[in-house]
């Protein structure tokens, strides 16, 4: 089931400004790996190493932190809202 993932502004420099990417779903980890495969540099922004997110990026499914769910193994179903929330510094 394809899932639309919104790319947060700080990561759009990597997607040439594209704000929504359609990915094939499965699990959160699967989605993020697929996203990393599509855009150069995305892998480094999201992952510290394969299977481990950087500690300055959080992912939420339906407003729940995936760390409280099944982390990267959290399954994604049709209609789920996936948010990538990177730490931002401005102010």
Partner 1 sequence: MALSDIAEQLDQADPSLARYNRQMLWAPIGIEGQKKLKAAKVLLVGCGALGTVLGNLLARAGVGQLTIVDRDFIEITNLQRQVLFDHDDIEQNLPKSVAAQKKIARINPEVSVEAVVTDVNHSNIEQLAAGKDLLLDGTDNFETRFLINDVSIKHNIPWIYGACISAMGLAMNVLPGETPCLRCIFETMPPPGMNPTCDTAGVLGPTVSVVSSWQAMEAMKLLTGNRADLSPFLFSFDMWDNRFQQLNVKRAREVADCPCCKHRQFEYLSGKFASATTSLCGRNAVQISLGTSTRVAFEQVAANLRNVGKASFNKFMLKCPIVEGEGERRREYELTLFADGRAIIKGTNEAGIARALYSKYVGA
- Could you tell me the smallest distance in angstroms from the CB atom of residue 87 to partner 1? 4
Nearer to partner 1 by Cβ, of 38 and 44: the residue is 44
Tell me if 71 sits within 8 A of 27, measured CB to CB.
no
User: Residue numbers of the site for partner 1 (CB under 8 A)?
Assistant: 6, 8-10, 13, 19, 41, 44-45, 54-56, 58, 60, 63-65, 67-68, 83, 85-91
CB neighbourhood size of 62 (10 A):
11
Whole-angstrom distance, CA of residue 13 vs CA of residue 16: 6
Whole-angstrom distance, CA of residue 86 vs CA of residue 89: 10
- Could you tell me the smallest distance in angstroms from the CB atom of residue 43 to partner 1? 12
- Could you tell me the smallest distance in angstroms from the CB atom of residue 37 to partner 1? 18
């Amino acid at each position: 089931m394809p899932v639309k993932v919104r790319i947060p502004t700080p990561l759009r420099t990597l997607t040439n400004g594209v704000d929504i990417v359609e990915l094939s779903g499965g699990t959160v980890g699967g989605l993020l790996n697929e996203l990393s495969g599509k855009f150069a540099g995305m892998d480094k922004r999201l992952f510290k190493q394969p299977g481990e997110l950087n500690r300055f990026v959080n992912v939420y499914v339906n407003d729940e932190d995936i760390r409280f769910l099944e982390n990267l193994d959290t399954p994604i179903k049709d209609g789920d809202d996936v948010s990538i929330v990177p730490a931002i510094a401005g102010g």
